[in-house]
Structure 1
């Protein structure tokens, strides 16, 4: 697993860190070709979430989020976004490419692994498809926003 992913995992909610490590390691084992998984986003601050929400609304660019601060599972460290790193250099979000030539798109190999561990995929959402996004099943911002936080700032679950 690359250092960027390790750093992002270290900031996730403590209850999912080990599990995400296992998921990424399993994905990287299954992907026997040129692609490996990188976490591009994990825990996101309220300020970062506000900036994303404002994009395409108040600031220029395409809308990338329908979630305000506190409404994203990223704000609780219970979600990750991924990409595939090809040959250790180039980032890819190509969900159809089969870099290891095993007749299964590498992205979907990872989707299956996340699902086995009980993670929902943003690509399955009916309205706003978010292909790079995975979140711990059962995470609900309406519930999480009401929970108390520990000394490190993570919700107590």
Structure 2
């Protein structure tokens, strides 16, 4: 696991940090070729979310999110976006390449590992597919509801109390 991924994990909600470390370690162990997992996004502030939301709307670029600040599970530290880091040098978001030649696309090896740990994959969403995105499901095995999280009290570090 690279240092950038570890830094991003340390900013996630405290309740998922160890689990995410375990998931990434399992992915890296399963990927025996040139690819390893890098977290490209974890916790995102409301301001950072609003900047992304403006993209393709009031700022140049293509739309990358339908969520305003407070409406993304990233804003609460329960979501990560990943890429495959090839030879520790090149970021790759392709879902079909089998870098370790085991007849299973590396991306889908990771999708299965996240799912085993109770994480929802944005690639399964019906309308706005978000292939790099994974988010933790709640104790009822459903995605967290941002409206509920927005109302929750926060601890002294600013994380929502579940």
Give the TM-score taking structure 2 as reference length: 0.96
For the aligned residues, what is the CA RMSD?
0.4
User: 1:33-90: per-residue Cα shift (whole Å, max 9, x none)?
Assistant: 0000000000000110000000000000000000000000000000000000001100
Q: Which runs of 4+ in 1 moved over 4 A?
A: none
The residue that corresponds to 2:106 in the other structure is 106
Whole-angstrom distance in 2 between the partners of 1:140 and 1:42:
17
The residue that corresponds to 2:42 in the other structure is 42
Q: CA deviation at 1:140?
A: 1.3
The residue that corresponds to 1:126 in the other structure is 126
| Unpaired stretches in structure 2, ≥5 consecutive residues | 138-142
Q: CA deviation at 1:139?
A: 1.3
| Unpaired stretches in structure 1, ≥5 consecutive residues | none
Report the secondary structure of 1:144's partner residue. Answer: helix
Whole-angstrom distance in 2 between the partners of 1:146 and 1:96:
40
Structure 2 matches for 1:3-18, cutoff 5 A? 3-18=3-18
The residue that corresponds to 2:91 in the other structure is 91
Give the count of matched residue pairs.
Answer: 157
Whole-angstrom distance in 2 between the partners of 1:139 and 1:2:
28
The residue that corresponds to 2:81 in the other structure is 81
Give the TM-score taking structure 1 as reference length: 0.99
